[in-house]
Structure 1
Amino acid sequence: MMKRTAGEHVFDALNALLLVLLSIATLYPMLYVLFSSVSDPAQLLKHRGLLFLPQGFSLDAYKAVFRNPNIITGYVNTLFYVGVGTTLNILMTALAAYGLSRKHVMWKNPVMFMIVFTMFFGGGLIPSYLLVQNLGMLDTRWALIIPGAVSAYYIIIMRTAFQGIPESLEESARIDGANDFTILFRIVLPLSMPVIAVMVLFYGVGHWNSWFGALIYLRDRDLFPLQMVLREILIQNNTEKMLTSTATVEKAQVGETIKYATIMAATLPILFLYPFLQKYFVKGVLIGAIKE
């Protein structure tokens, strides 16, 4: 083994210190919200400065959150948007990437140029709104699914991954009578599961965190995703419907912890998804970004 120099040891130590500081800066805000959400409201309002432990203990905020019918409706709507939207995203992205990754497809370079062009130039919000309106999708669930059905950036990643699959597999499948759909769904996609897992994660998180589309296209509150409900509670300070107490002081106290509890209720489900896809994450990104 080569002997490491003093400069290399210092470099490694500084790297480790930087990573620890970044981890603390990333983790502490989440812990602050978690501790605040289970703290006693009266004690929390009196506390000043950093928070390293809950101030007392109370689950009143979580009880108030899940008594709110808007939260339950938002969860159901968001699960629909994530499930249907992500499925459509993966299907459309895979179809586009497969066609653009085949060598003998006509006009694939001009089509690829047009796809990349959309990454730099777009019509903007008003043309998008008018398009959704003319298609009759205003105030419908499809307004949050169809306009973002495919991402140019993810097409490029998946196309690069598909190009890494040996052509001999496709040729042998065609000799056996397989068509393009059979090759895509029974050969290419099973061999590209790390990239598919990354796409599911990226698209799913995008749908879970999406709120701007709902703000623009939706008026029916029964169609609002969870993030729109969260926006009303945090930004518009709308916690009255979640409080049953008649005491003004108690409402003000519990109202603060309700905001933290709502953030946790909206964040934890998507956090639980990461451990199941983490093993595919690095491999999928590398396969989709680097062509040998």
Structure 2
Amino acid sequence: MSAINSKNERLFQFFWTAFFILITCIAMIPILRVLAVSLSGKNAILAGKVFILPVDINIEAYTRALQSGSFVNAFWYSIVLMLASTVINLVMTVLAAYPLSKKGLVGGKIVMTLFVLTMYLHPGVIPEYLNVRDFKMIDTVWALIVPGALSAYNMIIMCNAFKGIDAAIYDAAKIDGCSEARCLLSVVLPLVYPTMATLGLFYAVGRWNGISDVLYYINSSKYFTVQMVLKQFVESINVSVEEGLQTNLVAENIKAASIVISMLPMLIVYPFVQKFFTKGIMVGAVKG
């Protein structure tokens, strides 16, 4: 009987492993195609020969993209914006989640209910715009940071992570004379580091890929993020026939190269955070 169960289990694991490998390969096709187009020559692209492998390798598109002042400036600006907003997001999340994780907090359940309601009752774009306008944040960098400074969903995950810490640890910190601030900084945060790293990744990816708030609130090009500049590239970039004959480029080359460059920060950061990903989510989801 055990041999049959063991055989069935191996078949089950083989099937799902093969299935997820297939799904992963399918999901990689668009990324590989963009990379292939960015590295291929003009004639191969126009002839439709490029799929997931580059043809007539040419890196001139990357040189052209990096020589574009607007793209380079937007790239570095987006990195600084992503780092700053992620730090602010994590600070706001921790400061909201820590007191709400305490059982004896007066009015804590009411405040938590209000946070949860924001996940289901969205006011809409126009009220949000009017709110940002009334706070004089239109066409400022604060319009890209303050409205999304706290995610209720991420705050609940962090709150549950705090609740998962043994009460004896809090008691020991109080016996040692720790204040609430010292307890949070020196005792609690090191214990929920995987959750913080995971939520930091969520916030960073959301800010890096965000474009709707730039469309709504930003008018000056100096505040355009890399995604906004990419949108402009995709909509309007055009390499003339004469220039194309001289450079062996078509518009698709520069578009694809710009997209690949814009993906690099997330591709670099993710491997360092991935080991905390599953653990961080599970720690924040076990207790509620």
Q: What is the TM-score normalised by the length of structure 2?
A: 0.94
Partners of 1:52 and 1:216 in 2: CA distance: 36
The aligned amino acid for 1:40 is G
Partner residue in 2 for 1:286: 282
Number of residue equivalences: 287
Partners of 1:252 and 1:138 in 2: CA distance: 42
Specify every segment of 5 or more residues in structure 1 that has no aligned partner in the other structure, as ranges: none
The aligned amino acid for 1:216 is Y
Q: CA offsets, 1:108-156, max 9 Å, x none?
A: 0000000001100021110100010010000000000000000000011
Partner residue in 2 for 1:190: 190
Partner residue in 1 for 2:219: 219
**Which has the higher mean CA deviation after the structures are superposed, 34-43 or 8-17?**
8-17
SS at match of 1:51: coil
Q: CA offsets, 1:173-229, max 9 Å, x none?
A: 222322211111111111110001101100001111111100110000011010000
1:259 aligns with 2:255: yes
Partner residue in 1 for 2:22: 21
Partners of 2:9 and 2:280 in 1: CA distance: 31
The Cα of 1:18 is off from its aligned counterpart by 1.2
Partner residue in 2 for 1:31: 32
1:60 aligns with 2:56: no
The aligned amino acid for 2:147 is P
1:128 aligns with 2:128: yes
Partner residue in 2 for 1:83: 83
Q: How does 1:160-179 map to 2 (within 5 A)?
A: 160-179=160-179
The Cα of 1:16 is off from its aligned counterpart by 2.6
Partners of 1:39 and 1:161 in 2: CA distance: 48
Partner residue in 2 for 1:107: 107
Q: CA offsets, 1:42-65, max 9 Å, x none?
A: 2221124x6242111111100110
**Which has the higher mean CA deviation after the structures are superposed, 138-147 or 172-181?**
172-181
The aligned amino acid for 2:59 is L
Q: What is the TM-score normalised by the length of structure 1?
A: 0.92
The Cα of 1:29 is off from its aligned counterpart by 1.4
**Which has the higher mean CA deviation after the structures are superposed, 74-83 or 204-213?**
74-83
Partners of 1:201 and 1:90 in 2: CA distance: 10
Partner residue in 1 for 2:45: 44
The Cα of 1:256 is off from its aligned counterpart by 1.3
Contact 2:61 2:249 in 1 (8 A): no
SS at match of 1:3: helix
Partners of 1:132 and 1:252 in 2: CA distance: 46
The aligned amino acid for 1:281 is F
SS at match of 1:103: coil
SS at match of 1:150: coil
Contact 1:45 1:253 in 2 (8 A): no
Partners of 1:239 and 1:137 in 2: CA distance: 34
SS at match of 1:119: helix
The Cα of 1:80 is off from its aligned counterpart by 2.0
Partners of 2:15 and 2:244 in 1: CA distance: 51
Contact 2:78 2:208 in 1 (8 A): yes
Identity %: 36
**Which has the higher mean CA deviation after the structures are superposed, 202-211 or 21-30?**
21-30
Contact 2:60 2:249 in 1 (8 A): no
Contact 1:60 1:254 in 2 (8 A): no
Partners of 1:179 and 1:19 in 2: CA distance: 48
Contact 1:82 1:207 in 2 (8 A): yes
Contact 2:170 2:183 in 1 (8 A): yes
Specify every segment of 5 or more residues in structure 2 that has no aligned partner in the other structure, as ranges: none
Contact 2:40 2:55 in 1 (8 A): yes
The Cα of 1:166 is off from its aligned counterpart by 1.4
Partner residue in 2 for 1:247: 243
**Which has the higher mean CA deviation after the structures are superposed, 120-129 or 71-80?**
71-80
Q: CA offsets, 1:59-115, max 9 Å, x none?
A: 110011001111111112211211110000000000111010011111000000000
The Cα of 1:253 is off from its aligned counterpart by 4.2
